[in-house]
Amino acid sequence: MHSKYLWVHLAILGITLGASFLESVSYIGFVDKHFILPAYTWYVLSVVTALVYRSANFHIAKWLKLLSWSSILIYIIFTISEVLTYPNYIFTVLHINLQALQIFVLLVSFHWLVSQYYLLNTTLRLAKSLIFSALIFVATEGIGLSIAFLIKGLIPIIKHPNATYEDQLYNTHGGFYPAIQLIIQLTPANSLILIPPQGNPWEVEGNAPIVTYFLYPRQVKNLETTIPETNKPIYALIAKGSWPRTSSVDYGWPKVPINARQIWQFDTTNHTFTTYMRNYSPQTDQWDWGLIEVKHE
Amino acid sequence: MNSLLSVIIATVFFTFIGFPISCLLGKITQIERLGLSLLLGVGLGTYCWFILYLLGMPFTLTSLFISGLILILIGLVIVKLKRKSLVTVRLPVFLPLERFLVYIIILVLLIAFIIASYNAITAWDSLALYDFRAHAIVLNHDLRDITASSYYLSYPLLVSLLHAAVYFLGGVNAQGMHTVIFAGFLAIVFGRVYALTNLRYALVAVCLNIFSYELLMHSTIAYANLPYTILLVSGFLHLVSGHKKAISDHLIVGSILIGLSTWVRSTEVFWIIGFILIIWQALQSRNIRLSVVPSMLILLLYSIWHFYHAALVAILAEPPLVMPAFFSRTTLNLILHNLNKIREYFMLYVFYPYLGLWIVSLGLLPASFKLKSFPIKGLTFVIFASLAVTVLGISIFSTYFPTWFQIGDSATRMLMFLIPTITVAGTTALFGISHRGYNEKN
């Protein structure tokens, strides 16, 4: 009876780990599609048989321990590689599905642990194995992602250890931040700055709270149909659109002529500008970055 | 360099002003006392600064200093009244593995601090909201441009005032403060788990938290999710930690921390679970009076911002968001109509992102029934009550917020507090099962 039970347990364990491994090298749902029963049915069944089978078997425990540690190590290495390269890197190169591999790690760890705690009563044995293996599952993913995150975060620091806060902003916000610096230089603190509507391709320069952050205490407003009436000096941003175009809206803003005292074309690479004393026309003046000093009507 | 110095000065200042109130707990480890002092200092210090502003003092370094003095005085009076004597729990000798874990923890924290301090603040919400408000406060010494828009009022001020303190001290980047308060939180995790288990388990619990990608990543950016998680979970950990003699002190400290979590994010309602924990413990001790002061503290800390916010929003010209009657037949019908979408949302943003943690929680259920340990029962209750609140919240949210399905990431971030709650509960339960019949140390 005892050895018969062992074989049943071993058979179900073998099928379970096999199913999980198959899904690791294909996709989640592969077993369900090709082998009648979904993989998780086997997973649940193996948990039940493992709990029922209560004898010590050091050979099985030894192999499960080995398999568990190696799959944990492999999973961590794969996660780090994936984060340091590009999403889906491991699947592209090795055809291994990381999500499914994580479930494999969980199952192997659970079966290894449950085989260790055969002296505990069933409820506590289930609780301990489940908690421990799930914490391994959580830690394995966390260690991989965290190590990769720290490496990724350290690389720019090692490359440019003396970069200032300003340098960081120039690096992160490309043409936008230099344009903002030129606007600060050209406009008084009490002015109203009109910006494009929020949306593609003006995701950053059309986002009023973000632009306000950089231009404060200047007031920032998305221009709707007409120039608002105010006593403040009014300026309008000229922006091609710094995000790749994904909608039907074309690059370039403002799209209508605006009466102006002067307009400035920005050279964000050299932090300089060229002044033109004329009205703004969308036909000739839709530059990457620039500014219009709006004439009050 | 200025930023580093400002962050260090701010850390020392907040730890110093939080120290007297941390003395409410007579018997904890030194490392936990430091972490607790920092969190109490940051939370209560900024809150007191805000109250002084309401009373007519502009936001300046002087008013921050005065709020610190007030806090120290309050702390000293409480300690005097309670006649507390400090007993430091001594740690045993560290074995090589434990020393290795300590080195790893210090190394990871140091790298995270360097990354946070080096990188500019670029995350959208931190720029547009938290850090903007800090700069506006530093420039104007008041809230004039913040109170003009409901957007800027959408979250309480803790994170912004924390940044403002660093900027007043001459810093240009306050992001490092987020790693510092994360370190303070890890000290509390260590202290609480050590009180319930042993050195190795406590260090493992800290490692599980420091190697949680979400927590570590958030410790290097200036979002409000991590400070919220830190205060809420520290509160829960203290609420379940009470041991016969020290129960009222832990309940008071826990309730202050839970109340302070509403000073970071006030719309989430997980603080109500704290209430239930307090009443549960009071009933268990057959002394309902135990729950009075802690409950009042939570309510007080919640109410001041809540009423201030409500009064300001009422006079703004912006159209308010129309909320449904939560328990009406219409709401119920709408929920039933959205049921498939709600299920999909739940799986995508609540279940799968925390799959491993939900499995730990599944194991905690039988463990909490079998083990006679209130901390494990209490934390398991917190986990499943949070799950219930989340499901209910998502269901109601889906009935009145048109783009609810598109902002699932924020639901995932909102539940970040489950990471430390579940890992601490899991570690403690593992110890409990392995050492059945163990006694908690304090």
- In this complex, is the C-beta atom of A134 within 8 Å of any C-beta atom belonging to chain B? yes
CA-wise closest residue to A141 among A91, A43, A74: A74
pLDDT tens profile A26-77: 998 999 889 878 999 999 999 999 888 877 677 888 999 999 999 999 999 9
Confidence of residue B100 (pLDDT cuts 50, 70, 90): very high
Closest partner CB to A130 (pick from B3, B208, B359): B359
Confidence of residue B321 (pLDDT cuts 50, 70, 90): low
Residues of B in Cβ contact (< 8 Å) with A130: 359-360, 362-363
B97: Cβ–Cβ under 8 A, 6 or more apart, which residues?
A: B200
Mean pLDDT is highest, among A31-45, A67-81, B118-132, B230-244, for A67-81
Which of A19-23, A171-175, B82-86, B134-138 comes out lowest in average pLDDT? B82-86
| H or E segment to which residue B27 belongs | strand B27-28
What integer pLDDT is reported at residue B313 of this predicted model?
A: 87
Residues of B in Cβ contact (< 8 Å) with A163: 118
Side chain identity at B202, as an amino acid letter? A
- In this complex, is the C-beta atom of A168 within 8 Å of any C-beta atom belonging to chain B? yes
Nearest residue of chain B to residue A172 (CA atoms): B122
Beta bridge partners of A221: A194
- In this complex, is the C-beta atom of A153 within 8 Å of any C-beta atom belonging to chain B? yes
Query: Could you tell me the end-to-end alpha-carbon distance of chain A, in angstroms, rounded to an integer?
Result: 98
Residue B326 has pLDDT above 80, yes or no: no
What integer pLDDT is reported at residue B27 of this predicted model?
A: 86
Look up residue A163 and give its DSSP letter.
-
* Preceding omega of B319 cis (within 30 degrees of 0): no
Residues of B in Cβ contact (< 8 Å) with A127: 363-367, 370, 429, 433
Q: What is the mean pLDDT of residues B228-249?
A: 88
Closest partner CB to B128 (pick from A156, A163, A213): A213
Question: Token pair for residue A94?
Answer: 């090795």
Look up residue A229 and give its DSSP letter.
P
Side chain identity at A50, as an amino acid letter? A
Q: What is the mean pLDDT of residues B235-245?
A: 85
Q: What are the backbone angles phi and psi of residue B293, rounded to the nearest 5°?
A: -60, -50
Q: What are the backbone angles phi and psi of residue B246, rounded to the nearest 5°?
A: -95, 10
Cα-based torsion angle of the residue sequence A204, A206, A208, A211 in order, rounded to the nearest 10 degrees: 50
- In this complex, is the C-beta atom of A155 within 8 Å of any C-beta atom belonging to chain B? no
A38: Cβ–Cβ under 8 A, 6 or more apart, which residues?
A: A29, A31, A32
What integer pLDDT is reported at residue A3 of this predicted model?
A: 66
ipTM, two decimals: 0.92
Exposure class string for B125-159: b at 16+ Cβ within 10 A, else e: bbbbbbbbbbbbbbeebebebbbeebebbebbbbb
Cβ atoms of B61 and B168 closer than 8 Å? yes
- In this complex, is the C-beta atom of A19 within 8 Å of any C-beta atom belonging to chain B? no
Side chain identity at B142, as an amino acid letter? D
Query: CA B377, CA B276: separation in Å to the nearest integer?
Result: 13
Residues of A in Cβ contact (< 8 Å) with B357: 134, 138
| pTM as predicted | 0.93
Confidence of residue B439 (pLDDT cuts 50, 70, 90): very low
Residue B246 has pLDDT above 50, yes or no: yes
DSSP, collapsed to helix, strand or coil, labels residue A231 as coil
% of chain B exceeding 70 in pLDDT:
95
Query: CA B270, CA B410: separation in Å to the nearest integer?
Result: 15
The mean predicted confidence, pLDDT, of chain B is 91
Cβ atoms of A103 and A112 closer than 8 Å? no
- Selected for mutation to probe chain B from A83, A138, A166, A198 (highest B CB count within 10 Å) is A138
Cβ atoms of B301 and B307 closer than 8 Å? no
DSSP string, A235-281: EEEEE--SSPP-SSSPS-S--S-B-EEEEEEEETTTTEEEEE-S-B-
| H or E segment to which residue B151 belongs | none
Residue B377 has pLDDT above 70, yes or no: yes
Confidence of residue B33 (pLDDT cuts 50, 70, 90): very high
Considering only residues B190 and B332, tell me which one the structure prediction assigns the higher pLDDT: B190
CA-wise closest residue to B245 among B302, B303, B287, B298: B287
Query: CA B278, CA B25: separation in Å to the nearest integer?
Result: 17
Q: Which residues of chain A have pLDDT under 50?
A: 1
DSSP, collapsed to helix, strand or coil, labels residue B152 as coil
DSSP string, A109-148: HHHHHHHH-TTS-HHHHHHHHHHHHHHHHHHHHHHHHHHH
Cβ atoms of A149 and A83 closer than 8 Å? yes
CA–CA–CA angle A263, A268, A269 (5° rounding): 145
* Contact between chains at A141 and B359 (C-beta distance less than 8 A): no
Cβ atoms of B143 and B155 closer than 8 Å? no
Beta-carbon-side half-sphere exposure of residue B151 (alpha carbons within 13 Å): 11
Closest chain A C-alpha to B289 CA, distance in angstroms: 36
Residues of B in Cβ contact (< 8 Å) with A138: 208, 212, 356-357, 360, 423
What integer pLDDT is reported at residue A156 of this predicted model?
A: 93
Question: Token pair for residue B313?
Answer: 């929003």
What integer pLDDT is reported at residue B440 of this predicted model?
A: 43
* Contact between chains at A131 and B370 (C-beta distance less than 8 A): no
Closest chain B C-alpha to A131 CA, distance in angstroms: 5
% of chain B exceeding 90 in pLDDT:
72
Nearest residue of chain B to residue A80 (CA atoms): B213
What integer pLDDT is reported at residue B107 of this predicted model?
A: 98
What integer pLDDT is reported at residue B243 of this predicted model?
A: 67
